[in-house]
Structure 1
Amino acid sequence: MYTHKKDIKRKRHEEGMILVIGVIVMAFLLLLVLPFLFQLSVENRLTDKSFKSNRALSLAEAGIERAMWELNFGDILTWDGDSSLRTLDILSFQSSSGDVIGDIEIEVHNPESKKPLVKSRGKVDYSDSALMAKGTRAELAEIKYDPWNFAVFGNEDLDFSSAAEVDSYDSTEGAYGGTNVGVEGNVGTNGTFLGCIDLCPNAKVYGDAYSGPGSDPDSVIITQGNSLIDGEKKSFYEEKAMPSVVPPDDLPFMGGYSLGVGDVGTINSSGNFTSFVLSNNSVVTITSDVTLYITGDFSMSSNTQLNIADGVNVTIYLGGTFSQDSNSQINNLSQDPTSLLIMGTDSFNGTMTWNSNSDFYGAIYVPRAHVDFRSNIDFYGSITADTFEFNSNSRFHYDLALAGLKRDDMEDLPYGIKSWKEELGPVFIEK
């Protein structure tokens, strides 16, 4: 009996010792685990903070994109404010799945200028009592337009008659000819209908040919007889913009300019002219960098010359009509297409005519005009117009040096981001 009681006491003692040891082990393990649990808790809080900070920043960036869309394609005047500041608040902005992400506050400073400043702030829930906000700012600027990245581009039809040719060269490598002849004379149209680019027998394009967006190039681009497109037939992903030209409004008024038969003259200053007329066998040389705006007729009779001195750059705006008669020459002295730019305003919407055996070196952008090349024309440069007609033996040599030339004298140029900056943050706001 006594022995049995001792066994019971010993068993209880052992169980107590096991319990004590278990408690000690658990306490020891808890001491080991607590730092990890604390670290995990901190990391979870940091992860949550980082996640919500990124969400707020994404909302702010979405605000910048919304402002750019409104400036480029929408109507910023519908926003609150005036010409110095326009604002828009977007509440409960949702994801594509319909979940509410947060709010966006957008400010557009000087929205009607060429360099607006956009500030945007995104706000998301951080806790039951606070919001987290992050901001961005972007300086915008009008994107310059590059009209001359094709040999020939037409908004609508391009018609190539027999033996008309298009190829390429690079004026920075010297004169056209010999090894300086290439196959990058690309042509294109915004047109999407049958025959918008039409090559008659023996016409040749040494380059690619592009049809309008979403079209079948084989249907839009027609090659007849022995005609040739040396490159590929392709279609654009989107329509090529053809913005209107804005001529300068601060040029001094000069009246009309004219030279009589056989006369010789020089131009060394910019001006606004009512007309520009060269009679037979007359020669005019432009000797300084100038800008000319000709609101009426631009007419060169047979055997006339418009020369540009070496190293001189000339821009001519046309608002009336243009004709270059047979055996006349433009820019044959320097033979540098990059030195002469001709821009057509919206009122320049008739036919731009080059008659037989005339030469031209320059770049032309006339988005509302029809261009007519008569027989035996040699054109060095690039042209963008509404429609084209190349008659027999017209030769077009695209100057690759014009490809990167951009202009900002056009209407409704889109805005792009000039500089972007993330504002300091995140900032916490009480609800």
Structure 2
Amino acid sequence: MARCDSRSALLPATTLVELTIAIAIMVVIFAAVVPIVRAVRTNWDARQASADQVQNARILFDHIHRNLITATAITAVSQPNQTDGFIEYDGSDGKTYRYQLAGGNIQYGQVGDLRDLAGPFGRLRIQCFCPPDLQTPITDVDQIGLVRIEVGTDSSRPSWSMAVSLRVEPQTEFSPGVAVKQDIDWMGGCIDSYRSSQGPYNPDARGTSAVISTNSNGAKKIELSGGTIVWGDAYVGPNGDPDEGIKTYDTACITGTQGVLEQDVEIPDISAPGGMPSSEGPLILLGGTMTISTNRHFSWAMVWGDCRLVIDGDLTIQIDQWCWISGAEIEIPQGSRLRMYVGDWVLITSGAMLNASYGTPSNLMFYMYGHNETFSTWGSSQVYAVLQNPRGSVQVWTPSQFFGKIKADNIWGNGQIHVDLDAGF
């Protein structure tokens, strides 16, 4: 005879009404919770997409900065308010490159071979300027000196944008900023470029169009060490081999071309000027201010200490022997110009400032007509000049700086040379 478990008999059964109520409660709960979960997920997806776009833009701007800063000229650009913009430029390697917005992506590459670089983006706006006017966008490629680039999402949605300003240098004829007959031996510092017509030199917007060259085609005629950076190109003499003639050590580098000159850079010998007045003995200035407004002729020159030599007019000064300028200032206002002929050595020391107040190198021309003489700068001196020492050497030692152009038999040091692309010999 079967027995009945009394405990099971006492458990109440779930009625149909109770089951219906339980299901209804679950439906209400899901109806309330699911939209919240969906909103959280949507918000997370939006935040993730925004973060991806920001990271995408950062990578894009790094690419633009790294490549466009090497431009030697802008060759084509879209209208300033065009949102599907483009820009073409000549790189330091002589090839033409292009950035453009197409199909929702930023594309980049050599003209005729563009590939997707970053995206999606809905806006690429490019504005170009001619410094010092940074308010009026231009499209004249011969006048462009500054480029501003903006990218963003589609304007129909909440958008963001970033901008970057880059200095580029208009294309110029081949003209070395540092040209020698024999050796270049640089052991630190940098050699870069700028344009004095566009304002003072700015290390944060250094130019990359400096050119150094030697007429010699022998081995190791250009040697760079100690972290030297040549922001531009380097050339050995005709029929030379850049691999043999140019040597870089440790972290030293040349950012542009390493090539061969088609012909020697002209570095002519210099003679003493004719038609000068008779020598009046030494020039000694140890304090105060002295103004020179006529051609003068001295046996030697010592300009020392807290003093100032002011040039008033378009003048020539001849110094038969040596010239030592220490801690003093040579001031050449705009509209004035000095041609200084020196027969022996020139020494610039102790923070001397030569033509630094107005900063136009072509207003101070150094012509050294001696044999085996040296032009050297030391300390925190700054020299704004165009220098020719065809039978001697030039030395620039840190932390001194030379702004302008140089021709010499040889050059060595570890200071800074900033080639002024607007200066001429």
| TM-score bin (small chain) | 0.5 to 0.7
Q: 1:306 aligns with which of 320, 330, 334?
A: 330
Structure 1 residues 247 and 260: alpha-carbon distance in aligned structure 2, compared to 1, 3 A threshold:
closer
The answer to whether the aligner puts 1:168 opposite 2:188 as a matched pair is no
Q: Which one-letter code corresponds to 1:369 in the other structure? A: G
Partner SS, residue 259 of structure 2? strand
Q: Which one-letter code corresponds to 2:421 in the other structure? A: L
Normalised by the length of structure 1, the TM-score is 0.56
Distance 2:290 2:282 in 1: 10
Following superposition of structure 1 onto structure 2, how do residues 317-332 of structure 1 map, counting pairs within 5 Å? 317-332=341-356
> Could you tell me which residue of structure 2 aligns to residue 376 of structure 1?
399
The answer to whether the aligner puts 1:203 opposite 2:224 as a matched pair is no
- Is 2:311–2:337's contact at 8 Å kept on the other side of the alignment? no
- Is 2:283–2:299's contact at 8 Å kept on the other side of the alignment? no
- Is 1:170–1:180's contact at 8 Å kept on the other side of the alignment? no
Q: 1:349 aligns with which of 350, 372, 380?
A: 372
Superposition deviation, residue 279 in structure 1: 2.1
Distance 2:334 2:263 in 1: 39
The answer to whether the aligner puts 1:156 opposite 2:182 as a matched pair is yes
- Is 2:283–2:298's contact at 8 Å kept on the other side of the alignment? no
Distance 1:397 1:280 in 2: 26
- Is 1:173–1:180's contact at 8 Å kept on the other side of the alignment? no
Q: Which one-letter code corresponds to 1:221 in the other structure? A: I
Following superposition of structure 1 onto structure 2, how do residues 93-242 of structure 1 map, counting pairs within 5 Å? 149-162=175-188, 164-177=189-202, 181-242=206-267
Normalised by the length of structure 2, the TM-score is 0.57
Structure 1 residues 348 and 304: alpha-carbon distance in aligned structure 2, compared to 1, 3 A threshold:
farther
> Could you tell me which residue of structure 2 aligns to residue 389 of structure 1?
412
Structure 2 gaps, min length 5: 1-173
Per-residue CA deviation, residues 89-141 of structure 1 (Å, 9 max, x unaligned), is xxxxxxxxxxxxxxxxxxxxxxxxxxxxxxxxxxxxxxxxxxxxxxxxxxxxx
Superposition deviation, residue 237 in structure 1: 2.1
- Give the RMSD, CA atoms, in angstroms: 1.7
Structure 1 residues 178 and 325: alpha-carbon distance in aligned structure 2, compared to 1, 3 A threshold:
closer
Which runs of at least 4 in structure 1 moved beyond 3 Å after TM superposition?
Answer: none
Q: Which one-letter code corresponds to 1:244 in the other structure? A: D
Partner SS, residue 422 of structure 2? helix
Distance 2:313 2:242 in 1: 45
> Could you tell me which residue of structure 1 aligns to residue 42 of structure 2?
none
Q: Which one-letter code corresponds to 2:364 in the other structure? A: L
Structure 1 residues 282 and 178: alpha-carbon distance in aligned structure 2, compared to 1, 3 A threshold:
closer
> Could you tell me which residue of structure 2 aligns to residue 359 of structure 1?
382
Overall identity of the aligned pairs, in %: 26
Structure 1 residues 350 and 265: alpha-carbon distance in aligned structure 2, compared to 1, 3 A threshold:
same
> Could you tell me which residue of structure 2 aligns to residue 400 of structure 1?
421
Q: 1:333 aligns with which of 357, 380, 388?
A: 357
Partner SS, residue 338 of structure 1? helix
> Could you tell me which residue of structure 2 aligns to residue 265 of structure 1?
290
Distance 2:272 2:203 in 1: 39
Distance 2:193 2:393 in 1: 22
Superposition deviation, residue 282 in structure 1: 2.1
Q: Which one-letter code corresponds to 1:200 in the other structure? A: S
Per-residue CA deviation, residues 49-97 of structure 1 (Å, 9 max, x unaligned), is xxxxxxxxxxxxxxxxxxxxxxxxxxxxxxxxxxxxxxxxxxxxxxxxx
Residue correspondences, number: 252
Superposition deviation, residue 238 in structure 1: 2.3
Per-residue CA deviation, residues 170-204 of structure 1 (Å, 9 max, x unaligned), is 11111111675311111000122221100103110
Partner SS, residue 241 of structure 1? coil
- Is 1:217–1:234's contact at 8 Å kept on the other side of the alignment? yes
Following superposition of structure 1 onto structure 2, how do residues 241-280 of structure 1 map, counting pairs within 5 Å? 241-280=266-305
- Is 2:316–2:340's contact at 8 Å kept on the other side of the alignment? yes
Distance 1:243 1:215 in 2: 21
Distance 1:279 1:200 in 2: 33
Structure 1 gaps, min length 5: 1-147, 407-431
> Could you tell me which residue of structure 2 aligns to residue 297 of structure 1?
322
Q: Which one-letter code corresponds to 2:176 in the other structure? A: F
* Higher-RCO chain (CA-CA 8 Å, sequence separation at least 6): 1
